[in-house]
């Protein structure tokens, strides 16, 4: 009998302690914001029209992530939208237009084949929403120290002379041209063949591989010839020199097998699904208005990559200091 | 090892020269190399030869699936349903975890650990969960936990049912065992793109991919547990008049409980490691944190999140192991000691958990971990990593270049530049010598299909890298395993590292590997070696422990030196485990081939990554994934066959 009473006393004591703890541990109350999943918050906005859900594809390079960080932050805080992030490669993102999984692609690099497949058809599933303001440049580069040491290396006609420098264990006796993520726009295999260069394209596999190789090449003074692009945050700290290929002329890259010219300058544009464009959500006008410079993007990208800030924190920091840039994006959305 | 008795030799003399199995292997290789030197370049297939017809057909198939996903009844009433159901399961669990806040989750898991285990495990669980907050990854950890819980619950439901069936029915067991074998050699990265084809990207497809990987252990162990129940006990129950259902419920399942809980433990570990890999197909959580950090070359943040994954694995592992030990103790003793005190502690824990949940649901401080220092260990790790890269670069790049030029490239040339028929003949001959005629047929079939796919060159590249990787893993793994097997203290220190190595997502090591070894096949091999090492070392340690101490004592007392004991007693007697370790090493190395494709290792891995990235090459990716699986099946059969002891001559 005593054992039971002891147990009962213990339990009672515990309950009393619990009640006291509950009473003592007050604090800020948790509202609706605490119970929603991280990627989609629905915090109260302003007097804007109801926004709903926006599915934004995020392609695997840091510059794109910078675009997304700022756009998502403003959509959530100013327009009260629920933003869903979809980490997809370029091709898969466009596929998502048809299935409804993707509403917006924030940064499109040309892709005439995707335009032909999804926009220029009888019933388009996607439409061009204007330029982002970023100028995209793809090309072949060497680390700056090579241009200093071998001044004539930047002319493509001299590349064969230096092929030995770029030989690696992967390139089978030829010079190595390092490419990045296999999903990136590239004509490098055709270029090497059609310009009669004694080089082999080695696919690095990701943007990280390219940047890491550039880092190693710069610090350890190793030769490197590689595919690279702007806008690109890594170029803030690592200096490169561009190789001059035969200049781009309209139509010189229509046949992918016969390409023998440089990459065109890209006016990066936004592409949205037709369904989204017709939805009447205020987010539509916002995306249409979204427009900024390479420097803007590089700055946010640098916060994310170099300073390890999370997307939201990086966006917040940039937004706080650049109201003149983003305020016009809210025109016509009903928010302020 | 087969026992050889004098009667085996009755009526036969030993033949004058009986070549051992391994000398046949040497002969085959010698002939192959000779043929290569003579016929180099002839009939050496390039990717796309003889034709890309199969790849094109696959591309058309994926295009039609994508187009008809919302109209084809198979999808509308089948796959889409499942996909959507699972997609909505995840946010449900996720919001449950987020609603009760960190206080609630920590307290609940502490209480569960106490209820199913003991107080030590409970404290470990509480500390483990608190560490997620300290490491600054609480929200991501909850996502991973939600995915793991969803996958484990579903796997256990499916697995228990199938396991019981397999335990009761011999015929079903015979059907299901090869399927389970196949599921376990399936290289995880290879089938991820296929899953997204059917179920799109997101938590749903991640749960399915995880289940494929995690269901086999629980099925196997449930079946084994039921079969292990002593026949006499079952007979006794039957003689008392129990029906089959009663027997199952009252006798077999309770007695198999320990093994079944062990199966759940294995499933949980498998699920956790797979859930982080699924970050590649959009699974939220710690895996995604790691992947995003690797993309930005931030080793520190990646390691920080990886460390949290390891802690979660340790906590879940100890919780389920303690649960299995408790069920065994309870069953044996028939009653629980100190029943009253235990009940009080449990009630106390439940009360604490309830209070914590209430706090977590209503107060911000209890709900979200304050964002103190985000990723606190990332700074030191980054500094260390940068230092290592800067100072060891000369050495490591020398190792990388020398190994690539001297070992990898020549071996690759041997495989890629030999006439294809020569390679097939050599591989078939090797299979016959090592594993028997049936395996030889499998080998021929697998290689034939690879040629039909038009992926011969990539497949040969991959095969060569896998062999090099497996050999490196075996050499270092055996050395480490023998050392740890003989030295208990080293083993105790090594075990947590090995466990961590098996759970830490492979991508964490990619940035420093890239910095140290450059872009290329060698880096891919290093990543694969790191991934495979824990499994190999564990099996070797098992093998060394399995050698009877009396034998070792006998050898010692007859004056053998340490080296003699290792080479003449322990290694030969552990041979079955060594061959099993090699088998495991090959499978693990092959599984990492796709990750190698992300760091410049050409071959099938890169083809899978490319196919996933470009829709017009989707067929290439699919074909490459299947080719990886075929290589896995072929290598598994050959190495397993080599492991089976020969009965006739006892020759090695």
- Of A143, A138, A84, give the one whose Cα is nearest residue A263: A138
Give the number of beta-carbon pairs within 8 Å between A and B: 187
Q: What is the pLDDT of residues A45-73, one digit of tens each?
A: 444 468 889 999 988 788 899 999 999 99
The whole-angstrom separation of Cα B122 and Cα B141 is: 19
Q: What does the alpha-carbon distance between residue A207 and residue A187 come to, in Å, rounded to a whole number? A: 17
Evaluate whether residue A198 is within a structural domain: yes
| Paired strand residues for A105 | A57, A271
Decide if pLDDT at B322 tops 70: yes
User: What is residue B15's predicted lDDT score, i.e. its pLDDT?
Assistant: 43
Mean pLDDT, residues B62-81 = 75
Q: What is the mean pLDDT of residues A274-286?
A: 91
Where among A231, A258, A285 does a domain terminate? A258
Q: Which of residues 338-367 of B touch A (CB under 8 A)?
A: 340, 343-344, 347-348, 351-352, 354-355, 358-359, 361-367
Average confidence (pLDDT) over B137-166? 91
Q: Do residues A147 and A223 both lie within one domain? A: yes
Provide CB contacts within 8 A for B333, sequence distance 6+.
none
Domain of A53 in residue numbering reads as: 45-134+268-330
CA distance B352 to chain A (A): 7
**pLDDT higher than threshold 50 for residue B507:** yes
pTM of the entire predicted model: 0.80
| Residue with the two structure tokens 């006439």 | B419
Residue A113: list chain B partners with CB under 8 A.
616
Rounded Cα distance, A227 and A223, in Å: 14
Chain B positions touching A29 (Cβ under 8 A) are 362-364
Of residues B2 and A158, more confidently modeled: A158
Helix (H, G, I), strand (E, B) or coil at B331: helix
Residue-level pLDDT at A33:
35
CATH number, domain with residue A101: 3.40.190.10
**Residue B50 confidence (pLDDT):** 67
B486 assigned to some structural domain: yes
Answer whether B405 touches A (CB < 8 Å): yes
CA-to-CA distance for A197 and A174, rounded, in angstroms? 9
Q: Residue A170 and residue B600: Cβ atoms within 8 Å?
A: yes
Look up the ipTM and state it.
0.73
Mean pLDDT of B149-153: 93
Q: Cα distance from A331 to chain B (closest Cα, Å)?
A: 33
Residue range A2-11, pLDDT digits in tens: 556 776 777 6
Q: With H, G, I as helix, E, B as strand and everything else as coil, classify residue A128.
A: strand
The one-character DSSP state at A87 is: E
User: What's the CATH number where A145 sits?
Assistant: 3.40.190.100
Measured CA angle at A150 (ends A145, A152), to 5 deg: 125
pLDDT at A192 over 70: yes
pLDDT for residue B17 is more than 50: no
Q: Which residue on chain A is closest to B358 by alpha carbon? A: A22
**What average pLDDT does chain B have?**
83
Number of domains in chain B: 1
Both A239 and A288 in one domain: the answer is no
Is the minimum CB–CB distance between B621 and chain A shorter than 8 Å? no
Q: Is B122 contained in some domain?
A: no
For residue B448, the domain's CATH number is 1.10.3720.10
Segment B253-261 shows an average pLDDT of: 82
Indicate whether B503 belongs to any domain: yes
Tokens describing residue B166: 């397999």
Q: Does some domain include residue A34?
A: no
Average pLDDT, chain A: 83
Residues A192 and A142 in one domain: yes
pLDDT at B390 over 50: yes
Residue A33 falls inside a structural domain = no
B155, part of any domain: no
CB A191 within 8 A of CB A199: no
Beta bridge partners of A240: A143
Whether A237 and A93 map to the same domain: the answer is no
More confident residue, B194 or B368: B194
3-state helix, strand, coil in chain B (%, to 5): 85, 0, 15
Asked if residue A8 belongs to a domain, the reply is no
Position A28 pLDDT exceeds 70: no
- The band of B649, judged by pLDDT with boundaries at 50, 70 and 90, is very low
Q: Is residue A25 part of a domain?
A: no
Last residue of a domain, one of A207, A233, A258: A258
Assess if residue B114 is contained within a domain: no
Domain tally, chain A: 2
The reported pLDDT for the residue numbered A30 is 53
% chain B with pLDDT above 90:
12
* A182 vs A98: CA distance, rounded Å: 23
With CB atoms and an 8 Å threshold, state whether B520 touches A86.
Answer: no
Contact criterion met (CB below 8 Å) for B600 and A203: yes
Among the ranges given (A126-140, B89-103, B319-333, B566-580), the one the predictor scored with the smallest mean pLDDT: B319-333
CA atoms within 13 A on the CB side of A261: 12
Q: Are residues A222 and A74 in the same domain?
A: no
pLDDT tier for residue B652 given thresholds of 50, 70 and 90:
very low
Confidence class for position B335, pLDDT limits 50, 70, 90: low
Query: What number is the average pLDDT over the span B59-76?
Result: 76
The answer on pLDDT for B648 being more than 70 is: no
The reply to whether A197 and A106 lie within a common domain is no
Give residue B582's domain range.
20-40+50-67+379-652
pLDDT at A44: 39
Q: What's the pLDDT band for A95 if we cut at 50, 70, 90? A: confident
Residue-level pLDDT at A46: 42
Dihedrals φ, ψ of A307, to 5°? -100, 5
B444 lies in some domain: yes
- Kindly report the length of chain A: 336
Does any CB of chain A come closer than 8 Å to the CB of residue B76?
no
Residue B406 is given by DSSP the state: I
- B110: in domain: no
Tell me which of A26 and A227 has the higher pLDDT: A227
pLDDT of residue A24: 62
Question: Prior bond to B585 cis, omega within 30?
Answer: no
Question: Is residue B40 within 8 Å of residue B418, measured between CB atoms?
Answer: yes
Mutate to test the interface with A, among B295, B337, B357, B461 (most CBs of A within 10 A): B295
Q: With beta carbons less than 8 A apart as the criterion, state whether A121 and A129 touch.
A: no
Element (H, E) at A127: strand A126-143
Residue A234 sits in the same domain as residue A272: no
Does residue A129 sit in the same domain as residue A141? no
């Amino acid at each position: 009998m005593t054992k039971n009473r002891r147990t009962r006393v213990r339990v009672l004591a515990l309950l009393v302690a619990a009640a006291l703890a509950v009473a003592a541990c007050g604090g800020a109350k948790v509202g609706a914001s605490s119970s929603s999943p991280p990627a989609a918050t629905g915090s109260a906005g302003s007097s804007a029209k109801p926004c709903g859900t926006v599915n934004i594809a995020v392609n695997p390079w840091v510059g794109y992530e910078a675009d997304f960080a700022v756009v998502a932050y403003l959509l959530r805080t100013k327009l009260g939208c629920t933003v869903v992030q979809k980490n997809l490669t370029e091709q898969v993102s466009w596929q998502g237009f048809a299935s409804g999984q993707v509403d917006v692609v924030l940064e499109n690099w040309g892709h005439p084949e995707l335009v032909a497949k999804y926009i220029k058809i009888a019933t388009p599933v996607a439409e061009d929403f204007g330029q982002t303001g970023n100028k995209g440049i793809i090309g072949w580069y060497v680390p700056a120290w090579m241009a200093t040491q071998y001044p004539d290396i930047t002319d493509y006609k001299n590349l064969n002379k230096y092929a030995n420098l770029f030989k690696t264990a992967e390139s089978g006796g030829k010079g190595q041209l390092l490419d990045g993520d296999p999903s990136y726009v590239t004509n490098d295999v055709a270029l090497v063949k059609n310009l009669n260069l004694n080089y082999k394209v080695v696919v690095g596999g990701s943007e990280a591989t390219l940047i890491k190789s550039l880092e190693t090449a710069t610090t350890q003074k190793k030769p490197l010839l590689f595919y690279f692009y702007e806008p690109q945050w890594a170029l803030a700290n690592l200096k490169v020199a561009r190789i001059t290929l035969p200049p781009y002329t309209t139509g010189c890259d229509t046949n992918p097998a016969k390409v023998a010219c440089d990459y065109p300058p890209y006016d990066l544009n936004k592409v949205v699904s037709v369904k989204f464009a017709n939805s009447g959500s205020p987010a539509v006008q916002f995306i249409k208005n979204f427009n900024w410079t390479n420097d803007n993007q590089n700055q946010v990208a640098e916060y994310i990559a170099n300073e390890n800030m999370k997307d939201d924190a990086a966006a917040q920091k940039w937004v706080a200091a650049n109201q003149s840039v983003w305020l016009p994006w809210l025109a016509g959305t009903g928010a302020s | 090892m087969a026992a050889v008795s004098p009667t085996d030799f009755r009526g036969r003399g030993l033949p004058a020269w009986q070549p051992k199995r391994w000398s046949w292997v040497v002969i085959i290789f010698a002939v192959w190399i000779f043929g290569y030197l003579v016929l180099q370049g002839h009939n050496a297939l390039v990717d796309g030869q003889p034709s890309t017809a199969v790849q094109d057909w696959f591309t058309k198939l994926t295009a039609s699936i994508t187009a008809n996903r919302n109209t084809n009844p198979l999808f509308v009433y089948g796959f889409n349903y499942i996909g959507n159901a699972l997609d909505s399961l995840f946010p449900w669990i996720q919001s449950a975890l987020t609603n009760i806040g960190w206080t609630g989750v920590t307290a609940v898991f502490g209480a569960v650990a106490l209820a199913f285990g003991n107080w030590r495990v409970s404290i470990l669980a509480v500390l483990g969960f608190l560490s997620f907050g300290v490491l600054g990854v609480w929200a991501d950890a909850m996502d991973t936990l939600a995915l793991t819980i969803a996958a484990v619950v579903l796997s256990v439901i499916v697995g228990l049912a199938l396991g019981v069936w397999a335990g009761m029915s011999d015929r079903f067991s015979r059907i299901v065992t090869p399927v389970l074998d196949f599921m376990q050699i399936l290289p995880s990265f290879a089938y991820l793109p296929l899953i997204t084809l059917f179920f799109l990207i997101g938590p749903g497809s991640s749960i399915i991919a995880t289940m494929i990987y995690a269901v086999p252990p629980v099925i196997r162990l449930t079946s084994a547990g039921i079969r292990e129940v002593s026949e006499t006990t079952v007979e006794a129950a039957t003689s008392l008049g129990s029906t089959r259902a009663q027997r199952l419920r009252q006798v077999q399942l309770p007695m198999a409980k320990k093994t079944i809980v062990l199966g759940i433990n294995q499933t949980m570990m498998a699920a956790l490691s797979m859930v982080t890999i699924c970050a590649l197909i959009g699974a939220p959580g710690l895996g995604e944190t790691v992947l995003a950090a690797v993309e930005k070359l931030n080793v520190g943040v990646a390691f920080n999140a990886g460390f949290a994954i390891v802690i979660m694995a340790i906590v879940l592992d100890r919780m389920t192991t303690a649960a299995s030990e408790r069920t065994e103790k309870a069953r044996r003793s028939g009653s629980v000691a100190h029943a009253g005190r235990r009940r009080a502690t449990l009630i106390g824990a439940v009360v604490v958990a309830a209070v914590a949940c209430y706090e977590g649901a209503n107060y911000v401080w209890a709900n979200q971990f304050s964002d103190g220092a985000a990723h606190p260990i990332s700074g030191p790790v980054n500094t260390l990593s940068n230092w290592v890269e800067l100072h060891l670069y000369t050495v490591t790049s020398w190792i990388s270049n020398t190994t690539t030029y001297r070992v990898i490239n020549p071996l690759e040339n041997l495989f890629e530049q030999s006439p294809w028929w020569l390679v097939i003949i050599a591989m078939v001959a090797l299979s016959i010598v090592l594993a028997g005629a049936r395996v030889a047929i499998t080998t021929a079939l697998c290689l034939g299909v690879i040629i039909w796919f038009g992926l011969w060159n990539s497949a040969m590249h991959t095969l060569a890298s896998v062999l090099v990787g497996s050999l490196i893993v075996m050499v270092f793994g055996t050395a480490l395993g023998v050392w740890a097997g003989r030295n208990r203290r080293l083993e105790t220190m090594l075990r947590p590292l090995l466990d961590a190595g098996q759970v830490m997502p492979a991508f964490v090591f990619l940035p420093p590997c890239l910095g140290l070894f450059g872009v290329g096949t060698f880096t891919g091999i290093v990543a694969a070696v790191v991934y495979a090492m824990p499994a190999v070392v564990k099996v070797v340690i098992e093998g060394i422990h399995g050698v009877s101490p009396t034998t070792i004592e006998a050898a010692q007392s007859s004056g053998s030196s340490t080296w003699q004991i290792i080479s003449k007693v322990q290694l030969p007697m552990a041979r079955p485990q060594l061959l099993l370790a090699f088998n495991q090493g090959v499978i693990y190395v092959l599984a990492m081939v796709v990750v190698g494709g992300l760091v410049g290792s050409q071959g099938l891995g890169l083809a899978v990554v490319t196919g996933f990235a470009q829709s017009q090459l989707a067929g290439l990716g699919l074909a490459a994934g299947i080719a990886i699986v075929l290589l896995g099946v072929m290598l598994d059969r050959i190495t397993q066959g080599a492991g089976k002891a020969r009965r006739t001559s006892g020759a090695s």
